[in-house]
Amino acid sequence: MDWQHAPLHRTADPGFYFITAGTYLKKHFLIDTSRRDSFIDLLLSVGSKLGVVVQDWVVLSNHYHLMIEALRKSAVSAFIGRVHSINAHQLNVIDKAQGRKVWYQYWDKFITHERSYLARLNYIHQNPVHHGIVSRAENYKWSSVRVFQERVDAALAKAVRNFKIDNLRVPDDF
């Protein structure tokens, strides 16, 4: 039975997922640049151990978006749970706030079409622009946009950058 007051997670199947997660009460727990650096390292490290390829990401001070590939069944929920648990523990040790809730919920979207993948990829890249943090996505350090542009040919990078994202329904009121 589905519960109407929380995001529904149907993440048992291997494949591509778009993930959005936010901090508890939208607090800016990752405000310090070193915290965002450490969080990205944690995402990549935990992903490699649990059969999740973190393809693209953007990490802001109170939320993040990911495009991941789950290589095994049920890898997504294990991955998110481990990342949130480890990061909350790390931040609570640093801030001397034992037991404090850091992460609230996450939302996921199983990607079934190439257009859906490309639109969400552009959404990830443009998120710091959307929130008014930078004027150009490439100027935001805690995003995979520059890595993406280096690993693909210029035509694909341009096509993704021009992909329409205004009709996407993404929980992002941070």
Taking 70 as the threshold, does the pLDDT of residue 49 lie above it?
yes
Q: Are 127 and 65 in contact (CB under 8 A)?
A: yes
DSSP 22: E
Q: How far is residue 160's CA from residue 119's CA, in Å, rounded to a whole number?
A: 7
DSSP 108: E
Tokens of 80: 């998110």
Q: What percent of the chain has pLDDT over 90?
A: 80
At residue 10 the predicted structure's pLDDT band, cuts being 50, 70 and 90, is low
Span 45-68, average pLDDT: 97
Taking 60 as the threshold, does the pLDDT of residue 41 lie above it?
yes
Average pLDDT, the chain: 91
Q: Are 39 and 96 in contact (CB under 8 A)?
A: no
Q: What is the pLDDT of residues 71-89, one digit of tens each?
A: 998 899 999 999 999 999 9
DSSP 174: -
Write phi, then psi, for 57 (nearest 5 degrees): -155, 160
This prediction has a pTM of: 0.89
Taking 80 as the threshold, does the pLDDT of residue 6 lie above it?
no
